[in-house]
Chains A and B, each alone.
Chain A
């Protein structure tokens, strides 16, 4: 079986600046994969290429065995952006209806899925309220619900824990594990090392557009709470020293 996400020597250059430099990555199906790095490391650019929103300058990308620029490939992907901005004049139900329509789902299916998902993310009580009245955390939860609407095989999440309160985080963590147990693949970028360590099967650490570590969490960080943070800091520091030499 092909990997959920496969990048081979992917480079994305903007003029002389390489936002992503010779990145090779393999995310197996049915796993949770954390994509780590400081700001400007190239995580969002990589995510955009995985979603087919941007093309690599060189290299090859395959998502669920297909080209992400092809709309047919994107049928398998659910995406939640980092900044949870949605149409402020819609309510959560209408937002789901809209995205469901874009996925080609019939309205009956969309309504049933929307009711179920909004209940799951704790927004059922506010489903008829305009999104402009939502808090940041509520918008983030609406984002989670819309990403799951088409029951995608691959879920791409950009900083999914931002804005979630501790209770919502626990619920979200459980949801992601449940999805993995159902064979779904979850690929997310994050600064939240604690959450990543608790959740992920595999990780990649990015720095200045390059992947500096990649592998299974337990192989890289070992067992024990807080190990990933130590690894992360050590890797970034050592890479910095190497770069300085």
Chain B
């Protein structure tokens, strides 16, 4: 047990160090400072409608930045190991590939969570400075669901990076998640209106693709609609955990077949 913990924490620490020592994450943080804070702080002409609109844009930027970081972190966990051949000393250690996968995944998730929490802290601080209520139950739920979504996004990018090139994995995962985020809830309606083959494809996508839109609580935060029922949050959390677990099982299968 102790050995497993040491191995997992060593792998997770490596992924965290990699993310924080690469400069691209700081670019996102600077962008967040430059864009999210002014948007969340602004109260144009004292109009609450305009202020809500700016909050929505600020939260959309938080989603965009955190998705970029999650996908970047997930897709970078294994390809550089194979490209630079560090996979050889890594896989020759006394641990299974499954455990390597879990350790690296945990590191990727922790790395993207740390960036995500930074973005939400910036947003909440800006809203509080403006005189708004930031530490609400809805905000807590929004952050929790966003963290779960980030864990799912890392798992998807990880799996894709094991079966596609890193660039293709990023493009596929990004397009799928962004597509579902914006159009997921409308897919059944599109499917009904579409001709047979397209309609079928849309129905399959709706059934299989990860429902990013389930995790989106921006409207509730912006309009102050309050928290959702705890059972709904629990169901979405269960969905995220099961979905991520399935992706990781598939990734384990791919990694075990991968030649070093």
List residues of A whose CB falls within 8 A of some B CB.
Answer: 48, 51-54, 71-75, 77, 79-81, 83, 85-87, 89-90, 94, 97-106, 143, 146-147, 156
Contacts and interface: CB of A to CB of B under 8 A. Distances in A.
B260 A53 contact: yes
Contacts of A51: 88, 91-92
A104 B260 contact: no
Contact of B85 (A85, A90, A147): A85
B7 interface: yes
B2 A81 contact: no
Contacts, number: 80
In terms of DSSP, what is the predominant structure of the interface of chain A?
mixed
Given A101-B13, A105-B6, A143-B89, 9 more contacts: A52-B92, A72-B94, A74-B92, A89-B22, A98-B13, A98-B14, A102-B90, A103-B94, A146-B89
A51 B6 CA distance: 22
A170 to B, nearest CB: 25
Contact of B10 (A74, A89, A97): A97
Interface string B107-134: 0000000000000000000000000000
A75 B94 CA distance: 5
Given A87-B86, A146-B89, A101 B18 contact: no
B248 to A, nearest CB: 19
Contacts of A53: 88, 91-92, 260
Contacts of A104: 2-3, 6-7, 94
Nearest to B3: A104
Contacts of A72: 94
B21 A89 contact: yes
Nearest 8 CB-CB pairings of A with B: A101-B10, A104-B3, A75-B94, A102-B93, A89-B21, A74-B94, A51-B92, A79-B92
Interface of B: 2-3, 6-7, 9-11, 13-14, 17-18, 21-22, 84-86, 88-96, 259-260
A99 B100 CA distance: 12
B88 A102 contact: no
In terms of DSSP, what is the predominant structure of the interface of chain B?
helix
Contacts of B17: 89-90, 94
A80 B234 CA distance: 47
A48 B258 CA distance: 13
Task: Name the residue in A51, A72, A73, A143 with the highest tally of chain B Cβ atoms < 10 Å from its Cβ.
Answer: A51
Nearest to A101: B10
Contact of A86 (B9, B22, B86): B86
Contacts of B6: 101, 104-106
Contacts of A48: 88, 260
B177 to A, nearest CB: 27
A97 B17 CA distance: 13
Task: Name the residue in A81, A94, A101, A104 with the highest tally of chain B Cβ atoms < 10 Å from its Cβ.
Answer: A101
Contact of A54 (B10, B18, B260): B260
A122 B79 CA distance: 32
A162 to B, nearest CB: 14
A100 B94 CA distance: 11
21 contacts: A54-B260, A71-B95, A74-B94, A79-B92, A81-B85, A83-B85, A85-B84, A86-B89, A89-B18, A98-B14, A99-B10, A99-B89, A101-B6, A101-B7, A101-B10, A102-B11, A102-B94, A102-B95, A103-B94, A104-B2, A143-B89
A80 B92 CA distance: 10
Contacts of B11: 101-102
B10 A98 contact: yes
B86 A103 contact: no
A130 B125 CA distance: 36
A21 B163 CA distance: 30
B18 A74 contact: no
Contact of A102 (B7, B22, B84, B259): B7
A54 B256 CA distance: 11
B227 to A, nearest CB: 40
A146 B10 CA distance: 15
B18 A102 contact: no
Contact of A77 (B3, B10, B92): B92
Contacts of A102: 7, 10-11, 90, 93-95
